[in-house]
Amino acid sequence: MSDFQDCLQRRYASVAMAEFKPGKFAEVRHLYEQAIATYTKGFAGAYLFQEPGTDKGVSVILWDSLEEMEAHQGTEHQNILNQMAALFADPPQTSVYELVCKIDPPMAQR
C-alpha cells in the first residue's frame, strides 16, 4: 500500500482563518484576489469562505508542492498582505496541510 501512496501526487494547502474589522470583508476579498493573481507555477486553486452574517473568513490555497508555495512569498505578494493586515480584527491563524485524500462526486451528480 505504501508503494501506491508514494506514486500519488501530493498537494498542499495553506489555510488561514481570520476575523476582520466590521464591514471590511469586501475590501479583504478584493485584496485576496489581487494576491492570488500573483501566483503562477505550482498554484492549484484558491477558495475564500465567509461565515454568513459575520466578518469571519477562511482561506484555502492549494499548491502542487511546499517548495512552490514558499517560492510565492515575493515582494508584490507581501505588499498586498501588508495592506490586508490593517483589516484584521485579530491576527489570522495559519497552517499548512498535506492533502491525503480527495473524493470527487460521481459524474452524474455534477
Give the mean pLDDT of 27-40.
Answer: 92
Average pLDDT, the chain: 87
- For residue 44, the SS3 value is strand
> What does pTM read for this prediction?
0.83
Q: Which of 33-37, 43-47, 77-81, 97-101 has the lowest mean pLDDT?
A: 77-81
Chain centroid to CA 43: 10
The whole-angstrom separation of Cα 40 and Cα 44 is: 9
100: DSSP letter: -
Q: What is the pLDDT of residues 39-63, one digit of tens each?
A: 989 999 999 999 999 999 999 999 9
> Hey, what CATH topology would domain 2-109 get?
Alpha-Beta Plaits (3.30.70)
The C-alpha cell that represents 15 in the structure block: 489555510
Domain layout of the chain by residue ranges: 2-109
